[in-house]
Amino acid sequence: MDNNNPRLGILLMIATTFVFAMQDGLSRYLADEYNVMMVVMIRYWFFAAFVIALARIKYGSVRRVAATSQMWLQLFRGVLLALEILVTVQAFVYLGLIETHAVFASYPLLIAALSGPVLGESVGWRRWAAIGVGFLGMMIILQPGIKVFSPAALIPLTAALMFAVYGLLTRYVARKDTATTSFFWTGIGGVIIMTLIGPFFWEPMAGGDWAIMAILCVSGVLGHYLLIKCYEVAEASVVQPFAFLQLVFVSILGITVFHEDLRISTAIGAGVIVSAGLYTLWRARINQT
C-alpha cells in the first residue's frame, strides 16, 4: 500500500470517524439498558482478541509484538484508556452524545497544555492563546445550561483529560516502542482491568441486544483497523484535523436517533473549540517543518 497518499488517508480518517460515531451511538443505547462496566468489558474481550490475532497473523509472533522495556507504563496506558471509555460512555447516558463530544473535543488542547510539563516540549504563546480560546468555547457550552451546576457536566471534561494523558503517554512510549507494540498493550491493559471489575456487574442481556453488542464489537475492531491503515498511508498531521468530523456525525446521530437538542450555545462553543484545536494542530505542524 502507498505510504504517502494523503487523499486516501483523509478518506480513511473520515470513514474512521463515522464508524466511531456509530460505535458511540451503540454504546449509548446499551449503556441505557445495561451496566456500563459490563458493556465495556465485552467490548474489550473482542478488542484484545483482535490485537492478539493481528500480532499472530501480520507479525508472526505475539511475543515479538509485545516485547518492550516499558511494560508497566504500557499497561497503565491501556488501563487508563479503558477507564476513559467507561467515563465517556457514562457521559453519554447523563449528557447525551452531542454535549459529551462537544466538551470532549477539547482533548487536543489539553494535550498541548500538558505537553510542556509532561514531555518537556516547548509551548509558545500562540498555542497558549489557542488553548485559552478553546476553554472559552467550553464555557460557552456549559455555562448557559442548568447542567453546568450538576457534577455530570464534569464527566466529559474528566474523560477529555484522561484521554489527553493517554495521548501524551502514547507519545512518550513511542520514543522506544513501535506503534504496533503500543496498540497491542492498549488492548491487553484494557482487557485486564475490565475483566477484573466487569464480571461483578454482569446482567442478563436480551437476544436482540446481543446482536447490537456484536455489531458494537465489530465496529470497534473495524474503527481501529481503519485508523491503523489511515496512519500507514498518510502523516498524522495531515489527517488529524478530519478527526473532528466525529463531532458532526455524532451530532446528526444524537438528533435523529436519540432526539437530543442541539443548543445554539453548544454549536457555537464546539465551533470555537474545534477552531482552536485546528490552529493548535497547524502550529504543531509548522514547528515540525
Residue type, 265: S
Tell me the DSSP string of 62-131: HHHHH--S-HHHHHHHHHHHHHHHHHHHHHHHHH-HHHHHHHHTTHHHHHHHHHHHHH-----HHHHHHH
pLDDT < 50 stretches in the chain:
1, 144, 146-149
Cα–Cα distance for residue pair 173/67, rounded to 1 Å: 13
Cα–Cα distance for residue pair 252/240, rounded to 1 Å: 21
CA geometry: angle 206, 212, 214, nearest 5 deg = 105
Please tell me what DSSP assigns to residue 192: H
Q: Are 35 and 261 in contact (CB under 8 A)?
A: no
Closest by CA position to 186, among listed 111, 84, 35, 88: 84
What does the pLDDT read at residue 133? 78
Please tell me what DSSP assigns to residue 244: G
Please tell me what DSSP assigns to residue 234: S
Task: Give the ranges where the chain is alpha helix by DSSP (H).
Answer: 6-33, 36-59, 62-66, 71-95, 97-104, 107-119, 125-142, 154-173, 179-197, 207-233, 236-239, 245-256, 264-288
What does the pLDDT read at residue 201? 95
Cα–Cα distance for residue pair 238/9, rounded to 1 Å: 8
What does the pLDDT read at residue 237? 63
Sketch the domain layout of the chain as residue ranges.
6-288
What does the pLDDT read at residue 286? 67
- Give the tens place of pLDDT for each residue, 63-81: 999 999 999 999 999 999 9
- C-alpha Rg value of the chain to the nearest Å: 19
- Give the tens place of pLDDT for each residue, 15-50: 998 999 999 999 999 999 999 999 999 999 999 999
In Å, what is the CA distance from 95 to each residue of 47, 145, 206? 26, 11, 25
- Give the tens place of pLDDT for each residue, 198-208: 999 999 999 89
Closest by CA position to 21, among listed 264, 267, 258: 258
What does the pLDDT read at residue 158? 93
Residue type, 120: G
Residue type, 67: A
This prediction's pTM: 0.84
In Å, what is the CA distance from 28 to each residue of 213, 216, 249, 257, 284? 11, 11, 14, 11, 34
